[in-house]
Chain A
Amino acid sequence: MSAVARIWGHERARLLVGVGVAGLLLFVVAPGVLSDFRLNLLAKFCCLAMVAVGIGLAWGRGGMLTLGQGVFFGLGGYLMAMHLKLADAGPGGVPDFMLLYGDGTVPAWWEPFRSPVVTVLAILLLPAGLAALLGLAVFTRRVRGAYFAILSQALAAAFAILLIGQQKVTGGTNGLNGFRSFFGFDLADPVNKQMLYYIAAGTLLVMVLVVRLVMRSRYGELLVAVRDQENRVRFLGYDPALVKVLAYALAAAFAAIGGALFAPIVGIISPADVGVVPSIAFLVGVAIGGRATLLGPVVGSIAVSWAETSLSERFPSFWTYFLGGLFIVVVAFLPDGFATLGRLRLRRRRPGPDEPVGTSDEEHASDEQASDEDEHDEATASAGRTA
């Protein structure tokens, strides 16, 4: 027992075991056990979990409650979908819906996305760039806390309305759908669908590792410090705005990649996937799994998606109560999600020096009061300045 505990205490061992188990589950067990249809569902959940990983970073570690990740998810999805539509277009190179609703010509800003390279680069850079710009504008003016949350929510609302209104070039409420191929691979072929699953699962795993990497770095410490005591970080000579912008941009990039894979896997991307409600829905899994833990957002997000699919079929009305209740109970009573429960049990079983390293995250709940007061004061201070 104690030997196992000692090994478990080692960071590297835990990482290896974790990655091994996750890899085994995702790459061996799931494809072996699940039917094609269920595997494709899991691929979809992986895409949603990518957004959750980003939110875990921005919100759990960075304290930025972003209610607008749907924007970046949607941007990624639409960028990919534009390429797929152009690639599928028949003679003349005009996507089918433009012939139906538009004037039958492709607008100039669509043209670059005929190139797969431009598309992939755009997915990686455009949403992240937009997030960085927005972040710079907002964070340097010290807009944060609830103000930031509401602004990001308004952004999601505006983005959805914009997409719906520009039917000729975005497909309106229908969104973009009916993709036949993915970079030359036939999407009707189950083997290629499986390939997409492997890509999604692999990407998700890589993202988790990237977050781990980030959190182990000096930057990661700085990010948590900004969350807990922004002013002290400022007094130490750092610019908290830049620290936040980086995490926000990374979260946006993750969401965009999730969206980009979501489009071919599900076969559709529409405004219903980007607005206010889906943007908040992304948060559920993160909150439940444990916002400030490494794997919590992923596990929570996949679990919630899975539960939704299987429960909502039978009890549509019950599902809403369940979801609402989950929000209330978890956020109010288990602020670190179900990870708290696991940790409590572990702690009770082996107290003492074996206490896992890196639990500093849990303390933030009690710190937040202080940081909030800080925020309040600063609000006043800056208002005084601008007045």
Chain B
Amino acid sequence: MEPTDRKYTKGHEWAKLDEGLAVVGITNYAQEQLGDIVYVELPQLGDALETSHAFGLIESVKAASDLFAPVSGEVVAINEDLVDRPELVNEDPYEGGWMVKVQPEDEGEIEVLMTAEEYAAYLQTLE
């Protein structure tokens, strides 16, 4: 079961509200599908994220996927550790592998995402 303190998208991103900021990362399922992650490209501080638009890129040896924003808002922090240790996304997708912190324009955008339970059910539908 995924952590219940956050919400999930069908694109396998998660968003968690933490002291007014939205912390964003990818799910355990996503990192398993990608395999060993070798590179994470993140936006710059101050960039504006737009819901459902690509904000970054994640690469394994044989694949690359866009990262889609679960929420709109300004980037106020990025996880610098991923520059040297992209494997953190594999090892600890929900804590050490977080990607960006966003000042959300509308927290309601997160509210409407899937709960951990709904996301688990959604994963079931993917075989």
Partners in one complex: no
What is the interface of chain A, defined by CB distance below 8 A to chain B? none
What is the interface of chain B, defined by CB distance below 8 A to chain A? none
